């Protein structure tokens, strides 16, 4: 790994998470990623995942698109040149302190990120525009239409959460009122027309790691999506890498991640590419 500061490695978003933009070293992007935070004031999410590292602390920073413009401009004109000149920017990623599809500023933020990628093409022209979502936005036709537009126009990459193959597992990992079937149907409707990358957290809860039954249920769910014609580009299996807000969630070892992936892979055949990420980075790529 390059010699990044502790803040870049730990994904800290400034004082109490209040930064609008924050460079991080991303395991899954495998390099420098510029994060964009639509919720600098506090965590705003319709999930309450036990593995989430975002705290519930509040700040006085209110999101403003003009301030985001200034923050991105400052990164490209000053901070990047001072600290990371010559290092490829893998992606500009809208994520931050919550679920980005809940923000009324999502479209403006996407437009701004796309504009700066074009304006600073020598630095970011090869980077991807990414949104990390818990997939609930697919249940909203307006959000789905917005995301589809940016996939078509800007090549937006959508990392869509799907953490479990069973309702019980989904409930334990999302701690939400949503039904897994509704989430899967939403992903399926969107992905029939537009590609998605599934992101799947694999971790222990209260010391219990997911077993064969969970792997089989997840494989069945993927088969269901694929049978509906879903365009799934890849599946990211990843475990906890940073301190969580809830200690009941624990990371799996690389060996445990490989064992889970093997159980899953034996039932998937040569379907979407499967990438496995441990606490310290990519373990290996399977079925590329």
Domains and CATH numbers, the chain: 6-283 (3.20.20.70)
Q: Are 230 and 270 in contact (CB under 8 A)?
A: no
pLDDT of residue 18: 64
Measuring CA to CA, which residue among 185, 183, 178 is closest to residue 200? 183
Residue pair 212/250 in contact (Cβ under 8 Å)? The answer is: no
pLDDT of residue 129: 98
- Distance from C-alpha of 260 to C-alpha of 147, rounded to nearest angstrom: 31
Residue 36 CA to residue 21 CA, distance in Å, equals 5
Q: What is the predicted pLDDT for the residue at 221? A: 94
Tell me, what's the pLDDT at 272?
87
Residue-level pLDDT at 267: 79
At 40-89, the pLDDT tens digits run 988 999 999 999 988 777 777 889 999 999 999 999 999 999 999 989 99
**How far apart (Å, rounded) are the C-alpha atoms in residues 221 and 10?**
32
Give pLDDT < 50 ranges for the chain. Answer: 1-11, 13-17, 285-288
- Residue range 106-124, pLDDT digits in tens: 999 999 999 999 999 999 9
What are 138's two structure tokens? Answer: 């697919």
Residue-level pLDDT at 245? 83
Would you state the pLDDT for residue 285? 47
């Amino acid at each position: 790994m390059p010699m990044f500061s502790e803040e870049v490695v730990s994904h800290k978003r400034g004082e109490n998470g209040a930064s609008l933009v924050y460079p991080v070293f991303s395991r899954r992007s495998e390099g420098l990623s510029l994060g964009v935070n639509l919720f600098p004031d506090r965590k705003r999410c319709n999930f309450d995942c036990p593995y989430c590292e975002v705290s519930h602390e509040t700040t006085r920073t209110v999101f403003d698109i003009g301030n985001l413009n200034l923050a991105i401009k400052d990164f490209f004109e000053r901070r990047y040149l001072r600290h990371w000149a010559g290092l490829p920017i893998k992606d500009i990623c809208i994520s931050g302190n919550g679920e980005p599809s809940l923000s009324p500023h999502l479209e403006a933020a996407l437009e701004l990120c796309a504009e700066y990628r074009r304006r600073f093409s020598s630095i970011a022209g090869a980077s991807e525009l990414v949104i990390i979502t818990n997939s609930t936005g697919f249940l909203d036709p307006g959000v789905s239409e917005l995301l589809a537009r940016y996939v078509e126009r800007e090549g937006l990459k959508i990392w869509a959460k799907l953490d479990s193959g069973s309702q019980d597992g989904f409930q334990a990992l999302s701690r939400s009122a949503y039904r897994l079937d509704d989430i899967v149907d939403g992903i399926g409707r969107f992905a029939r027309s537009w590609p998605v990358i599934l992101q799947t957290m694999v971790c222990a809860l209260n010391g219990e790691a997911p077993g064969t039954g969970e792997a089989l249920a997840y494989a069945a769910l993927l088969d269901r999506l694929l049978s509906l014609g879903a365009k799934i580009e890849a599946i990211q299996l990843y475990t906890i890498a940073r301190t969580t807000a809830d200690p009941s969630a624990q990371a799996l070892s690389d060996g445990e991640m490989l064992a889970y992936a093997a159980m899953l892979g034996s039932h998937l055949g040569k379907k979407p590419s499967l990438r496995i990420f441990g606490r310290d980075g990519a373990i290996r790529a399977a079925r590329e």
